[in-house]
Structure 1
Amino acid sequence: MKGQFVLPSEFRKKLNISSGDEVIVSLNDNQEIVIAKVPTKVDWHHLLKDVPAETVDVAKDGHYDKTKAPNFAKWMEEG
């Protein structure tokens, strides 16, 4: 036994799971089974494609130039 199980096609479609995709199976606090797809490189690409990229030069004292890294500065201030 390899510990395999069959996930019905209706659930695979809802979770966007295809043949060969990896999933994580866990139990939540209510002892319910939770199945989550492990993001692929393509999934990460789609998630991050619109995130602005900028170089943040942080000095030894932890300071950085907010004008050179405005998106990072906004993220640091707003979370």
Structure 2
Amino acid sequence: MGKTNVITAKVSSKGQIVIPVDLRKQMNLNNGDKVSITQVNGELLIKKMPSGLEWQNLINQIPNEQVNIDNNGNYDAEESPNFDKWMKEE
């Protein structure tokens, strides 16, 4: 896990919490961005959700070519070089 940055914030009467500007900048959180909130062992984990543009950029990285996979799960790397490269990425 990365660097831990602990802050203290108050919960408003409406249940709102202000995320300090430094953390918003570090996480590239902007007005209108969506976050997921997960309860894990009595703690809240807040994660930024990918925007539509970020999803589109991820999708654009997926190889788009015809891949023929035989009954044994094998394919020809020369016929599908982008797929082969993608399959070997870590």
Q: TM-score range by the shorter chain?
A: 0.5 to 0.7
Structure 1 segments (4+ residues) deviating >3 Å: 1-4, 45-53, 74-79
Q: Which structure: greater helix fraction?
A: 1
Structure 2 stretches lacking a partner, 5+ long: 1-12
Aligned CA RMSD, in angstroms, stands at 3.1
**Following TM superposition, by how much is the alpha carbon of 1:46 offset from its aligned partner in structure 2, in angstroms?**
3.7
State the distance in 2 between where 1:5 and 1:72 align: 44
Choose between structure 1 and 2 for higher RCO, CA contacts under 8 A separated by at least 6 residues. Answer: 1
Number of equivalences:
78
Structure 1 stretches lacking a partner, 5+ long: none
* Identical columns (%): 38
TM-score normalized by structure 1? Answer: 0.61
Deviation per CA, 1:11-70, whole angstroms, max 9, x where unpaired? 1111111111111223556x5543210011211334455554333122344332221112
Q: Report if the CA contact (8 A) 2:63-2:83 is conserved.
A: no
